[in-house]
Amino acid sequence: MPAIDRAALLRDLQRLLPGHCIVADTECQRPYECDALTIYRELPLLVVLPETVQQVQAVLQLCHQRQVPVVARGSGTGLCAGAMPHPEGLLLGLSKLDRVIEIDPLARTARVQPGVSNLAISAAAAGCGLYYGPDPSSQIACSIGGNVAENSGGVHCLKYGLTVHNILSLELLTVAGEQLTIGSQGLDTPGYDLLALLTGSEGLLGIVVEVTVRLLPVPQAAQVVMAGFPTVAAAGDAVGAVIAAGIIPAGLEMMDRLAVQAAEDFAGAGYPRDAEALLLCEVDGTSEEVEGDAARVAELFRSLGASSIVTSRDEAQRALLWQGRKSAFPAVGRLAPDYYCMDGTIPRSMVSRVLEEIARLSAHYGLRVANVFHAGDGNLHPLILFDASNPQEVRRAEQFGAAILSLSVQVGGCITGEHGVGLEKLRQMPEQFSERELALLEEIKCAFDPGLTLNPGKGVPILRRCQEYRALPARHQHA
């Protein structure tokens, strides 16, 4: 297969798109060279920013015909280099498809374009007393198309689920530009559940150009109980105790000492600086439900040795208590030039064992780490502090991160709970999957994209098993 002729591709794209939708100049392409995992960077051949579904379709048809790799991008807030461009491909930015098409208050759905931000959906639905459940920390910026690609979670997914639980249908363009509807406005669709397969598929199977999400009624009331604990183990036990008491909190978050101190310095939320671990437990529902559950949670925390407990009295205090947690990443970011965020999921009961081991690894690699934990669903975000201008520290940070992922698999968990594999975790995939399992994942990829041009070199490691794959030139087997 001949190398891609950039000039010819540009000429063809100029026939399909208005000039302002094409970014050909290297300097103007810089903002697209990475997602939020900035240690992986690459410039694409060209960036396109189409404004209509028809334009996206035309671009895909062209790329399919010329076998040009296509990497889709939403807002670029991803954390696994999933949207990092391909050096011989097109970066397909979907941020201009940003219209809320329709809110149906009775059926409780919103039809939106993929570039609409997560928070904008809830804002558009607020007048109907409804909101969109999944709330990743980046929700002010991250796009719903990206949420679908990564199956994003957030702090409320123990009770309200992940993206896959909160969407009803997708308008999908195949790699060849054919449009099809996946799912429906009902709850089940006959045939294979392509909606489940597409959600979290990291732009490897198709391009999402419209999403219908389910909306939830805004809870009547919510309260948060904050508790400091003298040991991580005590906080871990308290998490189990809340669940065992039959309470499903709307959010249940844990932070370790370094994260607590950084967050407190940053946000002044009133966190106890001397605590080894901090829990934030939010309960929501009707007023009766919330009052009862908040009191039970506080009592449980007290009986399990909490050194300090605060229950929010009003919305302002609830917001303040969350402010510390929600700004934990930037707060920790102030402690070092850079941080590297990991994303393993572990069984909840393993948390103190895993945190002890992470502390040992931290000493071994000579890098500090702050731990932020979606404790309710076992999703751990260790933030490794390092200096990206020091190549040795970058290497050690990567090794430290890889060790944490291996540890997550060893204790019965997985390498990524909500950030995705992307380019970053490809090397860890064989720890979680056997060769035959990986081969099957690759076959699934081939079923949708036989030419392997959609986000090549991400998500699923290459085994060269697939018949079509063997025929591919080296440039498709990126990284």
Partner 1 sequence: MPERPDGDIEQAIATQVRAAAAHRQGLYIQGGGSKRALLGRDCEAAVLDVSGHCGITDYQPAELVLSARAGTPLTALQAVLATQGQELPFEPPTFQGRATLGGTLACNLSGPARPWRGSIRDLVLGVRLVDASGECLRFGGKVMKNVAGYDVSRLQAGALGTLGVLTEISVKVLPRAQRTTTLAYELPAAEAIEMMNRRAATAAPLSGACWLDGTLYLRLAGEAGAVAHTARRWGGQALAEADAPWSDLREMRLPFFAGDAPLWRLSVKPSAALAGPAAQLLDWGGAQRWLRGDFDLAQLQGLASAAGGHVTLFRGGDRRGEVRPFPGEVHRRLQQRLKHSFDPQGLFNPGRLYGWL
Tell me how far, at minimum, the Cβ of 363 lies from partner 1, in Å. 27
- Indicate which single residue of 43, 309, 353, 448 sits in contact with partner 1 (rule: CB under 8 A): 448
What is the nearest approach in angstroms of partner 1 to the Cβ of residue 268? 31
Cα–Cα distances in angstroms (integers) from residue 281 to residues 135, 152, 272, 293, in the given order: 16, 21, 15, 10
Q: Does 230 bind partner 1 (CB under 8 A)?
A: no
Residue 107 and residue 49: Cα distance in Å, rounded? 32
Residues 6+ apart with CB under 8 A from 215: 103, 108, 109, 110, 121, 125, 128, 130, 131, 132
Name the minimum Å distance from CB 431 to partner 1.
10
Could you say whether residue 424 binds partner 1 (CB under 8 A)? no
**Count of chain residues binding partner 1 (CB under 8 A):** 92
Interface residue with partner 1, options 12, 171, 418, 424 (CB under 8 A)? 418
From residue 96, give the alpha-carbon distance in Å to each of 100, 139, 360. 12, 17, 46
Q: What minimum distance in Å lies between the beta carbon of 180 and partner 1?
A: 5
Distance from C-alpha of 332 to C-alpha of 382, rounded to nearest angstrom: 11
Question: Can you point out the beta strands (E) in 312-406?
Answer: 338-341, 369-374, 379-386
User: According to CB under 8 A, which residues from 83 to 122 bind partner 1?
Assistant: 104-108
Using the rule CB under 8 A, is 416 a contact of partner 1?
yes
Q: At what angle do helices 53-66 and 6-16 cross, to 10 degrees?
A: 150
Q: What six digits make up the tokens of 7?
A: 């000039």
Identified binder of partner 1 from the candidate list 264, 377, 393, 424, rule CB under 8 A? 377
Answer for which of 436, 467, 470, 474 binds partner 1 (CB under 8 A) is: 436
Edge to edge, what strands does the sheet with 109-112 contain?
100-104, 109-112, 207-214, 167-173, 179-183
Which residues ranging from 165 to 224 are in contact with partner 1 (CB under 8 A)?
165, 174, 178, 180, 184-194, 196-197, 199-201, 205, 217-220
- The least CB distance from residue 244 to partner 1, in Å, is 5
Q: Angle 315-326/257-267 helices, nearest 10 degrees?
A: 120
* Other C-beta atoms lying within 10 Å of the C-beta of residue 316: 9
By CB under 8 A, residue 412 contacts partner 1: yes
Question: Do 200 and 249 form a contact (C-beta atoms < 8 A)?
Answer: no
β-pairing, 308-311 vs 369-374, is unpaired
Identity of the residue, 333 or 459, whose beta carbon is nearer to partner 1 in the bound complex: 459
- Binding partner 1 by CB under 8 A: which of 79, 421, 452, 454? 421
> What is the per-residue binding string for partner 1 in 291-330, x denoting contact by CB under 8 A?
xxx-------------------------------------
440 near partner 1, rule: CB under 8 A: yes
Confirm or reject binding of residue 346 to partner 1 (CB under 8 A): yes
Taking CB under 8 A as the rule, does residue 349 contact partner 1? yes
Q: Is 479 in the site for partner 1 (CB under 8 A)?
A: no
Which C-beta is closer to partner 1: that of 185 or that of 390? 185
Structure tokens of 287? 């007023």
Listed in sequence order, the DSSP H helices in 136-274 are: 144-150, 157-160, 194-198, 232-244, 257-267
Q: For partner 1, give the closer residue by CB, 362 or 416.
A: 416
Q: Establish if 233 lies at the interface with partner 1 (CB under 8 A).
A: no
φ/ψ region of 474 (left if φ > 0, alpha if ψ in -120 to 50, else beta) reads alpha
- The enclosing H or E element of 95 equals none
Q: Which of residues 22-81 bind partner 1 (CB under 8 A)?
A: none
Among 419, 458, 476, 478, binds partner 1 (CB under 8 A): 419
Q: Is 415 in the site for partner 1 (CB under 8 A)?
A: yes
